[in-house]
Amino acid sequence: MSKKINLARPTKIELARLKRRHKLAKRIQKIVKDRLAILVMEFLQTVRECADVKARLVEQYAATYASLSVTTGFHGNAVLKNELMVPDTRTEIRAGTKNVAGVRIPFFESEVVDAMSTQKSTGGDSSSYIDRSSELARQCLETTIQLAELEKSLEFLGLEINKVKRINNALEYIIIPGLEATIRYLTMKFEERDREEFSRLKFVKLMIEKREAYAY
């Protein structure tokens, strides 16, 4: 149920100002609804991307686990640990922000900045099995970073959607109905006042005409 907006001075100037406010509120509501639709579309798109990345990550982890099992069986656990303790590359993860549908969300980016030439402790024990396992593990890391970015995007988009929904609900159920109720109230009040004033003037005119008639 809408409520009237309290007015200190119910005048026709105030009524005109309320009508301008109502027009502006309707325009703002349209903008807010359009932005909400864009945010929801972006959110759903991100959800789909997140589901795809999760499925890919599960497959990559399964492939990595299988590769590590084969590598362990071929080299033994001790040799594999020694090989993996000395990385042959150095990876950096950079964080920043980007604008998605008007929302500042973080992004993560991984980059191999240096190919380390350190000789591994096991010397000639390295093989294609270890290289394959290392490559699969690197892919898992990159996909995990991508998934973290998407999930953080979902969090920020969800917060923004809730914020925009609250603004839209306030406009739709409180502000605009309140303005409309107040405009109707003032309009009826002024129309009633005008009718009373017209009746009073008509009565005065009739009295003047009677007096003029009696004067002759």
Distance of CA 114 to the CA centre of its chain: 37
Residue with tokens 């973080």: 106
Q: 42: domain CATH number?
A: 1.10.287.3240
What is residue 144's predicted lDDT score, i.e. its pLDDT? 92
Let me know if residue 35 belongs to a domain: yes
Let me know if residue 6 belongs to a domain: no
What is residue 1's predicted lDDT score, i.e. its pLDDT? 53
Domains identified in the chain, total number: 1
Let me know if residue 3 belongs to a domain: no
Let me know if residue 122 belongs to a domain: yes
When the pLDDT of each residue in the chain is averaged and rounded to a whole number, the result is 82
Q: Measure the CA–CA gap between 79 and 99, rounded to whole angstroms.
A: 47
Q: pLDDT tens, position by position, for the chain (216 residues)?
A: 556 566 657 788 888 899 999 999 999 999 999 999 999 999 999 999 999 999 999 999 999 999 888 888 877 777 767 766 666 667 778 888 888 878 888 888 877 766 554 444 444 455 788 788 888 888 898 899 999 999 999 999 999 999 999 999 999 999 999 999 888 888 888 888 878 787 778 777 777 777 767 765
Let me know if residue 110 belongs to a domain: yes
Let me know if residue 175 belongs to a domain: yes
Q: Measure the CA–CA gap between 178 and 19, rounded to whole angstroms.
A: 12
Domain assignment of residue 126, given as a range? 12-215
Let me know if residue 22 belongs to a domain: yes
Return the amino acid letter for 31.
Answer: I
Q: Measure the CA–CA gap between 8 and 21, rounded to whole angstroms.
A: 16
What is residue 56's predicted lDDT score, i.e. its pLDDT? 94
What is residue 96's predicted lDDT score, i.e. its pLDDT? 85
Closest to 105 measured CA to CA, from 35, 157, 43, 32: 157
Let me know if residue 2 belongs to a domain: no
Read off the pTM: 0.73
